[in-house]
Amino acid sequence: MKIMDEFKEFAMRGNVIDLAIGVIMGVAFAPIVSTLVDNIIMPPIGYLLAGIDFSSLAVAIPTPTDPVLIKYGLFLNAVIKFLITAFAIFLLVKGINHMKKPKPTVAAPPTPTEVYLREIRDLLAKRQMGAV
């Protein structure tokens, strides 16, 4: 039963739950980013680069039967999707961290001991000034 208790303690840590939520949000966010990249970002970039469709970019390696295609355009699309996803998650985490910033704490009033020690320090400093 000890292993189950340890697992329960591990699973209930805040970091594990945060990670699970992050993974779920990332999976839900992926189709949005794919649509954004494929239908909104890449067409204008392709237009600016003389009508190139990145998803169709490939290098054909001739073989005796059929050519083998290295589809580097799909790889470029995937890299762009990753960068956009990473940037969006960065902004999301930055916003959450901004909301979580601790409120400035008000300094507690000094204890009587601290007050007495400050008075002693100040008196000693005045005495040193007078002796010099």
pLDDT in tens, 9-29: 776 766 777 777 778 887 887
How confident is the model over 35-47, as a mean pLDDT?
A: 81
How many Å apart are CA 39 and CA 67, to the nearest integer? 29
Dihedral sign from CA coordinates of 92, 93, 94, 97? positive
Name residue, tokens 């320090």. 121
pLDDT in tens, 75-120: 988 888 788 878 877 887 788 778 877 777 788 888 999 999 999 9
Instruction: Return the ∠ at Cα 18 (arms to 13 and 22), rounded to 5°.
Output: 155
Q: How confident is the model at residue 49 (pLDDT cuts 50, 70, 90)?
A: confident
Would you state the pLDDT for residue 14? 64
How many Å apart are CA 70 and CA 73, to the nearest integer? 9
Q: What topology is assigned to 2-105 in CATH?
A: 1.10.1200
44 pLDDT higher than 70:
yes
Domain ranges of the chain: 2-105
Would you state the pLDDT for residue 111? 92
How many Å apart are CA 51 and CA 105, to the nearest integer? 58
Listing DSSP states for 33-70 in one string gives HHHHIIIIIHHHHHHHTTS--GGG--EEE--SSSPEEE
3-state secondary structure of 100: helix
How confident is the model over 50-79, as a mean pLDDT?
A: 86
Q: Is the pTM of this model over 0.95?
A: no
32 pLDDT higher than 80:
yes
